Amino acid sequence: MAKQQFELLTETMFYVLMAFLNGEKCGIEIADYIAEVTKGRVSVGPGTLYTILGKYEKAGYIIETKVAGRKRTYALSPIGKEAYQTEVRRLKQVLEDVERMG
């Protein structure tokens, strides 16, 4: 199902959105969160993460909340939260289809 701004949310992109659920974060905090939540299964390269954050900021999914020296902190916007929840519903539907069909 096509997303509002993105045709596809890759696994990495999805976890980046998830990282903002419990508060604003900077780049390193996002990378650490993803590694912790996935128990090391998913790691995000810094270059990739920078690109994703740039795309999300442009799409309005996240907003910059603080700049302290080199560190920039972002938070999830209502549009971003909606995009996350849409993806969660899609993933749940996929899981239900798998469990039903085997």
Minimum distance, C-beta of residue 99 to other proteins, in the bound complex (Å): 27
CB 97 → other proteins: shortest distance, Å? 23
14 burial level (CB within 10 Å; 0-12, 13-18, 19+)? middle
Q: Which is nearer to other proteins, 37 or 96 (CB)?
A: 37
Smallest distance from other proteins to CB 60, Å: 18
Residues for the chain: how many in total? 102
Nearer Cβ to other proteins, position 10 or 78? 10
Residues of this chain that interact with other proteins (CB under 8 A) are 8, 10, 12-13, 26-28, 31, 43-48, 50-52, 54-55, 69-72
Nearer to other proteins, 69 or 102 (CB): 69
The whole-angstrom separation of Cα 1 and Cα 16 is: 20
Calculate the alpha carbon distances from 81 to 19, 62, 69, 88 in Å: 11, 9, 28, 10
